[in-house]
Amino acid sequence: MWYLCVFFHRLLDYRKPEVESLAQLFGAIEDPRNDDLPFQLQWKLPPNYHTDSPFHFVNLPSEQLAHDIAARSILVKGMYELWGEGSSYEELKESVLSYPDERKLPYLDSDSTFKITVDGFGKVISLEEQKELIQGLSYIPFKGRVKLKNPDHNFWLIEVDNYGGNNGLPPIVQKRIFFGREVGGADRKLIPTYQLKSRNYLGPTAMDAEMAFLMANQALATSGKLVYDPFVGTGSVLVAAAHFGAMTMGADIDIRVVRDGRGPDCNVWSNFKQYGLPMPVGLLRADNNLPPWRSTLKEVFDAIICDPPYGVRAGGRKSGGRKLLRGAVEPYTVPDDKRTDHIPSTAPYSLVECVHDLLDLAAKMLVMGGRLVFFYPVLREDDFAEDHFPEHPCFKLISLSEQILSSRYSRVLLTMVKTGPYTEEIAEVARIRHIEFKENHVKWLEDGNLHSAVFSPADGHLTEAGDPKLIKDPKPKYRGKYV
Amino acid sequence: MRLLTHNMLSSNIKGVVNGFPLRIEAEKVAEKSVEMNREFLKKMFQKVHWKAFVDASRAMGYTELPEKADSSMLNSDEFLNRFHHALLELHLEEGALVCPETGRRFPVNKGIPNMLLPQEEVLLSIIIC
Ligand SMILES: C[S@@+](CC[C@H](N)C(=O)[O-])C[C@H]1O[C@@H](n2cnc3c(N)ncnc32)[C@H](O)[C@@H]1O
């Protein structure tokens, strides 16, 4: 059945992937065909709406599922059984009247309580007007009692006005009125509850609560699953996974962060305690470049979620359009007063190598069907060239969601599913590459663009592309990508 | 550090072929009860190296685990309780994990195993975020 899915008008690229992930989590696929990945729902738009609009229709097998998805989501404002729509109130009335009675009457009976909410998008509707609009719905035989708090049935009248046309782009929505019965919506209270402002132990790169929850949803975090973050820092990503019931495990190279924090009541553990969440089952100090796992251990994590350490200096090339950031950071030397547990070295951890290690780890340690969810930085010098993202024979990329950070940088949340087993051959290729990285560190630093098969053969075109503007259509941008 | 983590770790010192299992030197062990999740336990049972797990539990002072185990035992509540307790409720707070080949010690402080040794062959891959 088709449901009207109304999103919050933010993080535009993250919205459909979240719903698709949750559909999978709650079992929308009755007969999982592994080779049919990526699993996709059917979507459609109201007439002449742009895909960046908050108003979409999604086809879901049951109302229960629509409810579960919306309730667990972060970006679904509401999921509705649509009773009618139109570009005028006359059209709406006709449409509602022709909606089958057997779908409507069960929700209108005299034993039930209900509430009608009027909402505007692209316009403000005064209380006075709202009252009138509700009275205008008298053609619907409501028999129940009005109850404003926790009614049995929530009805919504949503009036949309032309919107989003003021930046030289076509409007994303056009005048339209929807009337429907709510079947579920996001619990946005989670976000203030978990906001970083109130987080006990904070680091400079802690992930904000909303994004951490989106990452956990992409990873299908849930009770009984084990989720690993190899760059755990202050634990903000795992906190979100733990909120959804997952067991968590994390590692970080910085022992001061992972072991000490700022004292006995201000550390990674206390960030879980603060919300009454179960503690991580393990925290350790380890270098992701030198994994500490026993060689016979495979397929143990259900998901790996992380924000890898991309301390990146932009690569300088101008041709080739939107380049991936593949420069290395300046060598990092541990200051003298911090030299406690290790002999520091000046080896840089390049983006390419970091991603190589991450994919190799994930290929080995994720269960089949397990998910790798991580951020990947891109330089947005222009929007024309096609992006190239890391690839791996064990993985299928199922979604990529961009968030613009500044005029120059974006970060893209990649969600990959493990679709192939970690074979001897793959392990051997990875082992050789690992050694190459070690040997080539200095050289790599010098020319800054060692070709890595992690980026797939297609990557080569980045250096030799002609005018990329001729190849790709510009992707219209909306404010929502910035928020 | 819980024994689940111990069972997953091995010595990653360069040149070491058989770094598993790490021998536990226990200075301070704590017990903290956590809620049991059967589904999780059943999944982890398939992944645990049993012999190493039993030895590790003894090093932590717990001797109730059977020498041998197979998945049919997961139907017994008594077994599940013991497995749960040893896997998730025993914590090594202070001590060390000793590499079986080189004898080098990975310290465990405040419950955190430090799997990076101060040694030349380890190239620290730190980067600034
Ligand atoms: C972008 S931050 C992630 C922050 C984390 N999400 C949080 O909530 O604080 C990256 C983390 O990776 C760690 N790191 C850097 N290089 C590493 C390596 N080679 N292995 C493991 N961790 C590393 C840093 O210490 C830092 O805590």
A351/B110: higher pLDDT: B110
Q: Which stretch of DSSP H or E encloses residue A277? A: none
Nearest CA-CA distance, residue B55 and chain A, Å:
16
The alpha carbon of A18 is separated from its chain's Cα centroid by a whole number of angstroms, namely 6
Q: How many CB pairs under 8 A join A and B?
A: 143
Distance from C-alpha of A90 to C-alpha of A230, rounded to nearest angstrom: 57
Of A17-21, A308-312, A337-341, A441-445, the one with minimum mean pLDDT is A337-341
Question: Domains in chain A and their CATH numbers?
Answer: 2-188 (3.30.2130.30), 191-454 (3.40.50.150)
- What crossing angle do the helices spanning B38-47 and B77-84 adopt, rounded to 10°? 70
pLDDT given at position A475: 46
Q: What's the maximum distance between 2 C-alpha atoms anywhere in chain A?
A: 78
- What crossing angle do the helices spanning A12-25 and A63-72 adopt, rounded to 10°? 130
Radius of gyration of chain B measured on its C-alpha atoms: 16
Q: Collect all residues of chain A within an 8 Å Cβ-Cβ radius of residue B12.
A: 290-292
Quickly state the pLDDT bin for A29 (edges 50, 70, 90). low
Cβ distance A208 to A155 under 8 Å?
A: no
Q: Which atom of ligand 1 is nearest to the CA of A205?
A: 4
pLDDT given at position A33: 54
Cβ-in-10-Å burial (0-12, 13-18, 19+) of A35 comes to exposed
Distance from C-alpha of A244 to C-alpha of A305, rounded to nearest angstrom: 14
pLDDT at residue A468 is higher than 80 = no
Mean pLDDT of B89-118: 95
Distance from C-alpha of A183 to C-alpha of A67, rounded to nearest angstrom: 5
A311/A157: higher pLDDT: A157
Give the residue among A266, A246, A243, A245 at the shortest CA–CA distance from A256. A266
pLDDT given at position A88: 95
Mean pLDDT of A106-125: 95
Cβ-in-10-Å burial (0-12, 13-18, 19+) of A266 comes to middle
Distance from C-alpha of B78 to C-alpha of B84, rounded to nearest angstrom: 10
Q: Which stretch of DSSP H or E encloses residue A296? A: none
Query: Which are the contacts of A125, defined by CB distance < 8 A and separation ≥ 6?
Result: A118, A119, A133, A159
Residue ranges per domain, chain B? 3-121
Cβ contact A342–B113 (<8 Å):
no
Angle value at C-alpha A264, between A262 and B37, nearest 5 degrees: 115
A389/B91: higher pLDDT: B91
Fold (CATH) for B3-121: N-terminal domain of TfIIb (2.20.25)
Mind listing the pLDDT tens digit for each residue in A223-280? Answer: 999 999 999 999 999 999 999 999 999 999 999 999 999 999 999 999 999 999 999 9
What pTM, to 2 d.p., does this model score?
A: 0.87
% helix / strand / coil in chain A, to the nearest 5?
30, 25, 45
Encoded amino acid at A207, one letter: M
pLDDT given at position A37: 54
Mind listing the pLDDT tens digit for each residue in A294-316? Answer: 999 999 999 999 999 876 433 22
Q: Over chain A, what is the mean pLDDT?
A: 83
Q: DSSP letter at A259?
A: I
Q: Which atom of ligand 1 is nearest to the CA of A254?
A: 25
A7 CA → ligand 1 middle, Å: 32
φ, ψ at B111 (rounded to 5°): 80, 0
Cβ distance B101 to B19 under 8 Å?
A: yes
Angle value at C-alpha B71, between B69 and B75, nearest 5 degrees: 105
A311 CA → ligand 1 middle, Å: 10
Cβ contact A258–B112 (<8 Å):
yes
pLDDT given at position B2: 98
Angle value at C-alpha A414, between A34 and A70, nearest 5 degrees: 75
Cβ contact B114–A284 (<8 Å):
yes
**Which residues on neighbouring strands pair with residue A55, listed in sequence order?**
A6
Cβ distance A360 to A230 under 8 Å?
A: no
